Chain A
Amino acid sequence: MLLETKGLTKRFGELTAVDEVNLQIQEGDSLSVIGPNGAGKSTTVNLITGLLNPTEGKVLYRGEDITGQEPHEIVQQGLSKSFQTASIFPDLTVERNAVVASLGAEHGSFSLNFLRRLGNYDDVLERAEQTMRDMGLYEQRHVEAKSLPYGDKRRLEMALALASDPDLLFLDEPTAGMSPDETDDTVDLIERIKEERGVTIVLIEHDMEIIFRVSDRIAVLNRGAKIADGTPDEIQGDPDVQEAYLGGVEI
């Protein structure tokens, strides 16, 4: 088991945003989390990745309890997250973005020297270049991140998340706001990441087509609680899901 949540619960005051959610993710078995807006999908991811502390419940990664650890500790163990809104370094060049990301990957444990030139960290620079090439951003390496087109920004965001070579990658609505072309490219990219890097992906998405292309399993959240969990075929046929989420619409 790569990741497991046990009774994961988050309350904001009166509101129970995540309600005793149990998820199980096997290595190489990509999961999609779906559910209507406000169902608690992003909150669940935030609980797992350490941005929020759960009110109750546990997160186990490779059998080890990581509940309540700091995000950087969790990332260092091989989890990574791509944000719903492109979270990049807007005033730095694409190259600088990639370099900082690979600094995190290579030296998250604080072994850097503040009097040594960055130019002497070959491993870091190589990894940064590799990441940029992989994501097709190398040509734009001297461009300030903020002046990239929207789709490229999202790709840079994903490049940052991938720089640490994660085993498990959370993608929170990676195609939100994208044009159909950009969406297509992004889905291709996700499939490539899965295959070439062997990353297990947890995808939060609305678009059913994408979900069926990318995921091996689907978990459905509604009002914080998990109401179904299974293969795409099973979910498609589940009356509860149709009722709660799809409002009876055929998929």
Chain B
Amino acid sequence: MSVVGSVVGFMIQTLAVSSIYILVAIGLSITLGTLKFVNFAHAAMYLAGVYIGLGIALELQFSGDIARSIGLGNVGLDLGFLAALAIIPIITFGLGLLMERFVARPFYDRPDTDQILVTFGILLIVQELIRAFVGGRSLTFSRPAWAEGAISLGPLGTYASWRLAIIGITSVLVLAVYLYIEYTDVGLAVRAGTEDTEMVNLLGVRATRPFLVIFGVGSGLAGAAGVVGGPVFSVVPEVGVGVLVPAFLVVVVGGVGSIVGSVVGGLLIGAVEVGLVMNAPTWSSVGIYALAAVVLLVRPAGLMGAVEVDE
């Protein structure tokens, strides 16, 4: 393979891995930036994306203990991958609104640790609900047939269409959210909040519509990440945390509250991971933490974060 080919190959793999982390990270980053809310339950949106998405695209087998004892069988709409990708963000957007209203909002005025604990508890409940109904074993989320093959990019080489599809879908979603936040009133709250929570508090917008929507948008992206990530990562109840941790690292590396930061952080994390998988596989899961540690030491606020950290 030519040098150009292997560079492009590396980039495409990186982009594909980064995509999922970026989709999950954006929601974490904007709620952290605007509301100073650490949301472990964000991973529940990813789980919803994976499991409900599987039920929409193909079929979901209920083989957990509770499901068996009440005789719940398989539920599948068999609508295909694209349908799931279209429907899931809407569902998780709605779930995000519910989460803001009924979980986050009662905790805005309570200590940070309570917020973290309650969202962790909710994640735990969702995870165990999945285990009780669907079961704990690993399921298969097949790729759609149209993405099975490979596409030739001329002299640049030939690449799995699936990876290109992930990159395409993510780019569209991230760009849409970016434009939304840059150019709308809701976005204004995000931008203002990230620069100065005190001012946002003064404006009294904390409990109002922008924040509802922020939760919704972040959750929608995390749901989409679940659909995209389903065929890539394993489909088990613990995968929620499995994706949440790298997404947190993306936020730490990229800087809080900035979509550009999430993208940059995600790309870096993805590049480190892919680079290690190719060259030093035993270290592949470790490198991203080392990267985060280095960034913390050199630039505590993250690469794109405001330099001053006053919490």
Q: Which residues of A contact B (CB under 8 A)?
A: 12-13, 51-53
Contact = CB atoms under 8 A, between A and B. Distances in A.
Contacts of B196: 12
Nearest to A51: B310
A13 B308 CA distance: 11
Contacts of B308: 52-53
Nearest to A55: B308
Nearest to B199: A12
B45 to A, nearest CB: 32
Nearest to B307: A53
B195 interface: yes
Contacts of A51: 310
A174 B28 CA distance: 39
Nearest to B310: A52
Contacts, number: 7
B194 to A, nearest CB: 11
A32 B238 CA distance: 60
Contacts of A53: 308
B310 A13 contact: no
7 contacts: A12-B195, A12-B196, A13-B195, A51-B310, A52-B308, A52-B310, A53-B308
Interface string B162-205: 00000000000000000000000000000000011000000000
B64 to A, nearest CB: 43
A158 B172 CA distance: 56
Nearest to B195: A13
Nearest to A13: B195
Nearest to B308: A53
A12 B310 CA distance: 12
B139 to A, nearest CB: 48
The 6 closest A-B pairs by CB, nearest first: A13-B195, A53-B308, A12-B196, A52-B310, A51-B310, A12-B195
B110 to A, nearest CB: 14
B6 to A, nearest CB: 43
B230 to A, nearest CB: 41
A146 to B, nearest CB: 15
Contacts of B310: 51-52
A51 B308 CA distance: 11
A216 to B, nearest CB: 33
Contacts of A12: 195-196
Interface in B292-311: 308, 310
Interface string B262-297: 000000000000000000000000000000000000
Nearest to A52: B310
A234 to B, nearest CB: 35
Contacts of A52: 308, 310
Nearest to B192: A13
Contacts of B195: 12-13
